[in-house]
Amino acid sequence: MVVPLKRENEKQFSTFVNIVDDNFGSWIEDRSLKRSMDRQQSLFPKDLETSFPVNAWVTHWHQTWKQQQAKLPRYHLYAYLQEPCYWSAQKISSRFNTTSFGLADCFQAAFEKSDKVLQGFDPGLGPSLSTYAGRAFSNAIHDALANNQEVQIASELSLLQRCTRKRLGKALAVAGLSEDLQAINQAAWQSFKDFYFPKTTAAKTLDSLAPEDWVAMLAKYDLLREQQNLPKASEALLQEWLGKCVLHLRHYTAPRPISLNASMDDCGELIDTLQDGSEASMTQLMAQELEATQQKQQQKINAVLQSGLSKLNPAHQQLLQFYYGDQLTQQEIAVQLKSKQYKVSRQLRAARKALLTVLVTWIQDELHMSCKATVLNSMTANLDGWLKVQFSGEHNQHVDV
Amino acid sequence: MLMFNDLQRPYLAIPELAREKSWLESINLSLLEHRWNHYLNQLTLATVLPWLEAQGSDEALISAQSSDRIFPNPETAAQQWQWVTGTAVAIHDRRLIVIPTDNWDASEFKVPQEWVDIPTWQGDYYLMVQLNPEAGQLQLRGYINHRQLKQEGHYDEGDRTYWVSEEALVQDIDLLWVMAELEPLAERQADLAPLAPLSRHQAGAWIQQLAQQLQTASASSIQRSPRLALPFQTWAGILSNPQLRSLLAQAIPSSIEPDSPPYAQLSQWLQGNFEAAWQSLDQFSPSTPTWGLRNIPAQSISRGKRVALSGINPALSLWTTVTAEMDGRMKVLVQLRHQTDSPDGLVMQPLPPGIELRLITPEEESLQVVKAQQQDDYIQLKRFKVLPKQAFTVEVRLGNQTVREQFQA
């Protein structure tokens, strides 16, 4: 495996990962983003030029993006998110090692969440963007992998039963069906969805449906047919259409290659939308100040966590070491401790809950903030990132707290 | 199956026995369109409740009083789930609304309006559970509090739900316990306006009108649920009042109306009408030979039903063969079998030694007992005759577990 080199500061906002043969290939520089970074730097007051830290850049581009909702700052942030995205994808794909869903597929599944990550990220809450994004990306990859695997091994009946109108619609559209055909397939599926219940828990295929099931479904289809002006059907036709739906649904969940670079192509024209120089350097100064405040905040949070951790009993500390430091699974820990997996899980949760309690109390008492979902999600990302650093004793590239 | 080690959004295994039991319960519902939702709700409760209890025991959060801990309770659940999906679970003095979904796509969390806007139904927290019944597992996807769901959720008029995207959920189940203790009331619950008062008279008129509407609709079976047929305030007023609710239940077509009694009617069998859980050999498995029952005369009817006992996988089945006699009586043969699925159909397996099959009268008098010996493939009661309308019970007993099936001739 080729390990990507850490990018220099400014390059983190202008380069994109190039994955070759499901491996890291190289960093590719986007010229318009590079020009934009150069231009920003040329606007710095002289004493700033050498010491503008990465996190201040993140804050700068994130602030600018929030204010303007423009493409340019967003693409700078996309570039920055390449690393957490790559590391999440790399870690998970090497762990699960499935041929049908490799590094590039994982990377893509995660990267599709970028906009949600940028929206959900609140710089005031502690974790750095890369820590916050790392967790969101890992969740996205897990979901995509599980989904892909489940859909490939799911039976025909389960696939149809568990699908939504919206998802089927997308699958049929992606498959390139005409609108008429889409409507027919949708109606066939609706008739199935409303009237099907398995004859046994082992029922799997459309073939195993009883004649009375087809009669009920056909009756329902006929109702829809009148409303929507669809062609007449028979039991056999219904079955054929449903079989097609199954195929399209399976195709839809399989990873589809989409070039990430293609979406970056239109960056060039964006350069003109930059604000004029004086304002830009103002936001940079503010960003730097904000970044300093955030760092203080993070130091406080670290201190709170440190004191919370020191109050945990040795058994709980040991578990956290196994789970976060040594990256063992719960099963592996259970073997190590000659215990049961459910006991390990419960103990691990008790330890996490104790630390989360300390954090929540601190946010409530010191920051006087109400703990909304966004705050809590930032907090868990922060906790997990901190625990990893704390117990692995090293700063991984993808965990920079 | 790939099981991720996800601490924050844990996967839980659905117990095999719960699958079988929930399926049996669901297939007995008369209205097809309610079966699946009933099944999902049952599976969820059977899996999530024990998990919550195990988690809660650390902090003694779940109250010891278990009878009124869940709403709807098991007696009214079948009725309520055909109208509104989800179950409220009391955790200490917090209320958790558990909402199941089996959609592949879990990017949105939808909660029926009833759970949000009816003051006596509202919860503190709403838990999203995503099921994969086929793989026998579910995942706790995250939760949201009432205040955020009400204030930041999107309201969908079409199906009267509040929904949020999955990013709006707290995606760490451990925080549920932490916040349940630390989150002040004003931050976890939004204020609700009380429901507009609804007199019994008004409600009666609505229900009557509704019943007529639904009767004409049921012929075309487009919209058989009363849920969206009334203005929400009226619907909520009826639903939250136990008397009005039972009035409604009597007036409209329902899955659990007494047309499917809790016993098998053998006289109906002879006319070709069967309870859904009693299935023909073909439905059990098409390519299966008919062991032991080969000499059945043609005018006999034979049907089987799965029996769920824990520790036996797959389930046992009870086979009942009924033959009409010239004098109007019926001859009945009852068998207990143990069989596994294979590509060639069902294959007989030895019964667990010591398992008993027992014939019992309505007065609880035991008339016959048969006990399985080592390597018995099946056991059967001695053939007996019953008079029309006569009731009897067959009991399967293994250790301290019993399952009973009731019959009426």
- Tell me what pLDDT residue A261 has: 46
Distance CA B238, CA B206 (A): 10
Whether the CB of A97 is below 8 Å from some CB of chain B: the reply is no
Sequence-distant (6+) residues with CB within 8 A of B304 are B278, B279, B280, B281, B284, B317, B318, B319, B320, B337
What single letter denotes the amino acid at residue A53? Answer: P
Sequence-distant (6+) residues with CB within 8 A of A3 are A24
Sequence-distant (6+) residues with CB within 8 A of A97 are none
Check residues A288 and B177 and name the one with the higher pLDDT.
Answer: B177
* Residue among B5, B35, B179 minimizing CB distance to A329: B5
How many Cα atoms occupy the beta-carbon half-sphere of B16 within 13 Å? Answer: 10
Across the interface, do A195 and B182 touch by the CB < 8 Å criterion?
Answer: no
Hey, of B167, B220, B313, which one would you mutate to test binding to chain A, going by the most A CBs within 10 A of its CB? Answer: B167
Listing DSSP states for B204-264 in one string gives HHHHHHHHHHHHHHHHHTS---STTTS-HHHHHHHHTSHHHHHHHHHHS--TTSTTS-SSE
Q: Which residues pair with B384 in a beta bridge?
A: B332
- Tell me what pLDDT residue B345 has: 64
Alpha-carbon distance A46 to nearest alpha carbon in chain B (angstroms)? 42
Nearest CA in chain A to B218: A220
Structure tokens belonging to residue A70: 């423009």
User: Which range scores top for mean pLDDT: A110-124, A265-279, B77-91?
Assistant: B77-91
Q: Radius of gyration over alpha carbons of chain A, in Å?
A: 26
Residues of chain B under the 70 pLDDT cut: 1-5, 56-68, 215-224, 253-262, 283-298, 310-315, 341-346
Nearest CA in chain A to B131: A162
Nearest CA in chain A to B4: A142
Provide, rounded to the nearest whole percent, the portion of chain A with pLDDT above 90: 29
Whether the CB of A143 is below 8 Å from some CB of chain B: the reply is yes
Alpha-carbon distance A162 to nearest alpha carbon in chain B (angstroms)? 5
Mean pLDDT of A18-25: 86
Whether the CB of A381 is below 8 Å from some CB of chain B: the reply is no
CB-CB contact of B322 with B301 (8 Å): yes
Whether the CB of B75 is below 8 Å from some CB of chain A: the reply is no
Q: In chain B, what are the helix, strand and coil shares in percent, each to the nearest 5? A: 30, 30, 40
Q: Is the pLDDT of residue A259 over 60?
A: no
Question: What CA–CA distances, in Å, run from A372 to A120, B91, B179?
Answer: 12, 21, 10
Query: For residue B343, which of A346, A202, A394, A381 has the smallest C-alpha distance?
Result: A202
- Tell me what pLDDT residue A198 has: 79
Alpha-carbon distance A321 to nearest alpha carbon in chain B (angstroms)? 15
- Tell me what pLDDT residue B217 has: 59
* Residue among B36, B102, B106 minimizing CB distance to A197: B36
Residue ranges of the domains in chain B? 11-192, 195-257, 264-408
Residue B279 DSSP symbol: B
Alpha-carbon distance B358 to nearest alpha carbon in chain A (angstroms)? 26
Sequence-distant (6+) residues with CB within 8 A of B217 are B223, B224
Alpha-carbon distance B104 to nearest alpha carbon in chain A (angstroms)? 6
A94: burial class by Cβ within 10 Å (0-12, 13-18, 19+)?
exposed
Across the interface, do B134 and A370 touch by the CB < 8 Å criterion?
Answer: no
Q: Is A370 in a helix, a strand, or coil? A: coil
Query: For residue A397, which of A131, A207, A175, A104 has the smallest C-alpha distance?
Result: A131
Across the interface, do A373 and B144 touch by the CB < 8 Å criterion?
Answer: yes
Question: What CA–CA distances, in Å, run from B137 to B16, B18, B131?
Answer: 10, 12, 6
CA A258 from chain centre, in angstroms, equals 17
- Tell me what pLDDT residue A320 has: 94
Distance CA A346, CA A356 (A): 15
Q: Is the pLDDT of residue A264 over 70?
A: no
Across the interface, do A143 and B7 touch by the CB < 8 Å criterion?
Answer: no
* Residue among A223, A357, A371 minimizing CB distance to B220: A223
Listing DSSP states for A193-240 in one string gives HHH---SSTT--SGGGS-HHHHHHHHHHHHHHHHHHTPPP--HHHHHH
Q: Tell me phi and psi for residue B205, to 5 degrees.
A: -65, -45
What single letter denotes the amino acid at residue A56? Answer: A
Q: Please, what is the average pLDDT of chain A?
A: 83
Q: Is the pLDDT of residue A285 over 50?
A: yes
- Tell me what pLDDT residue A82 has: 93
Q: Which residues pair with B391 in a beta bridge?
A: B408
- Tell me what pLDDT residue B285 has: 58
Mean pLDDT of A28-48: 80
- Tell me what pLDDT residue A255 has: 66
Mean pLDDT of A87-100: 81
Query: For residue B36, which of B17, B21, B22 has the smallest C-alpha distance?
Result: B22
Nearest CA in chain A to B11: A146
Q: Is the pLDDT of residue A50 over 90?
A: no
* H/E element, A299: helix A277-310
Across the interface, do A360 and B222 touch by the CB < 8 Å criterion?
Answer: no
Listing DSSP states for A129-186 in one string gives HHHHHHHHHHHHHHHHHHHHHHHHHS-HHHHHHT--HHHHHHHHHHTT--HHHHHHHH
Across the interface, do A253 and B104 touch by the CB < 8 Å criterion?
Answer: yes
Q: How confident is the model at residue A239 (pLDDT cuts 50, 70, 90)?
A: very high
Nearest CA in chain A to B38: A197
Whether the CB of B104 is below 8 Å from some CB of chain A: the reply is yes
Question: What CA–CA distances, in Å, run from B1 to A109, A159, A262?
Answer: 20, 16, 35
Q: How confident is the model at residue A68 (pLDDT cuts 50, 70, 90)?
A: confident
Distance CA A222, CA A235 (A): 11
How many Cα atoms occupy the beta-carbon half-sphere of A199 within 13 Å? Answer: 22
- Tell me what pLDDT residue B86 has: 97
Across the interface, do B183 and A371 touch by the CB < 8 Å criterion?
Answer: yes
- Tell me what pLDDT residue B222 has: 47
Alpha-carbon distance B159 to nearest alpha carbon in chain A (angstroms)? 14
* Residue among A116, A142, A197 minimizing CB distance to B6: A142
Task: Show residues of chain B in contact with A348, CB under 8 Å.
Answer: 7
- Tell me what pLDDT residue B1 has: 41
Structure tokens belonging to residue A299: 């130091």
Whether the CB of B185 is below 8 Å from some CB of chain A: the reply is no
Q: Tell me phi and psi for residue B7, to 5 degrees.
A: -70, -40
Across the interface, do A150 and B182 touch by the CB < 8 Å criterion?
Answer: no
Whether the CB of A1 is below 8 Å from some CB of chain B: the reply is no
Q: Is the pLDDT of residue A136 over 60?
A: yes
Whether the CB of B278 is below 8 Å from some CB of chain A: the reply is no
Sequence-distant (6+) residues with CB within 8 A of A8 are none
* Residue among B23, B175, B283 minimizing CB distance to A376: B175
Angle A373-392/A341-362 helices, nearest 10 degrees? Answer: 120
Task: Show residues of chain B in contact with A194, CB under 8 Å.
Answer: 32-33
Provide, rounded to the nearest whole percent, the portion of chain A with pLDDT above 70: 86
- Tell me what pLDDT residue A267 has: 45
Structure tokens belonging to residue A399: 């965990």
* Contacts A–B by Cβ distance under 8 A: 132
Q: In which order are the strands placed within the sheet that holds B94-101?
A: B11-13, B137-145, B125-132, B94-101, B87-91, B70-71
- Tell me what pLDDT residue B32 has: 73
Among the residue ranges A277-286, A292-301, B315-324, B391-400, the one predicted with the least confidence is A277-286
Residue B333 DSSP symbol: E
Alpha-carbon distance A203 to nearest alpha carbon in chain B (angstroms)? 10
CB-CB contact of A224 with A190 (8 Å): yes
* Pairing of the two strands B264-265 and B154-156: unpaired
Hey, of A200, A214, A218, A348, which one would you mutate to test binding to chain B, going by the most B CBs within 10 A of its CB? Answer: A200
Question: b/e per residue, A255-282, with b = 16+ CB within 10 A?
Answer: beeeebeeebeebeebeeebeeeeebbe
Question: What CA–CA distances, in Å, run from B332 to B270, B300, B321, B322, B329?
Answer: 12, 9, 6, 5, 10
- Tell me what pLDDT residue B252 has: 73
Across the interface, do A139 and B178 touch by the CB < 8 Å criterion?
Answer: no
* Residue among B10, B58, B174 minimizing CB distance to A352: B174
Q: Is the pLDDT of residue A265 over 50?
A: no
Task: Show residues of chain A in contact with B182, CB under 8 Å.
Answer: 357, 360-361, 364, 371
How many Cα atoms occupy the beta-carbon half-sphere of A319 within 13 Å? Answer: 22
Mean pLDDT of A239-245: 94
Task: Show residues of chain A in contact with B167, CB under 8 Å.
Answer: 116, 119-120, 377
Task: Show residues of chain A in contact with B35, CB under 8 Å.
Answer: 197
Task: Show residues of chain B in contact with A356, CB under 8 Å.
Answer: 172, 174-175, 178
Alpha-carbon distance B406 to nearest alpha carbon in chain A (angstroms)? 21
Whether the CB of A199 is below 8 Å from some CB of chain B: the reply is yes
Across the interface, do A150 and B135 touch by the CB < 8 Å criterion?
Answer: yes
Alpha-carbon distance A227 to nearest alpha carbon in chain B (angstroms)? 11
Q: Tell me phi and psi for residue A350, to 5 degrees.
A: -60, -40
Question: Looking at chain B from residue 23 to 52, which residues have their Cβ under 8 Å from any Cβ of chain A?
Answer: 23, 26-27, 32-33, 35-36, 39
Whether the CB of B179 is below 8 Å from some CB of chain A: the reply is yes
Whether the CB of B284 is below 8 Å from some CB of chain A: the reply is yes
Within a 10 A sphere around the Cβ of B143, how many other Cβ atoms? Answer: 29
Task: Show residues of chain A in contact with B33, CB under 8 Å.
Answer: 194-195
Alpha-carbon distance A26 to nearest alpha carbon in chain B (angstroms)? 30
Distance CA B244, CA B237 (A): 8
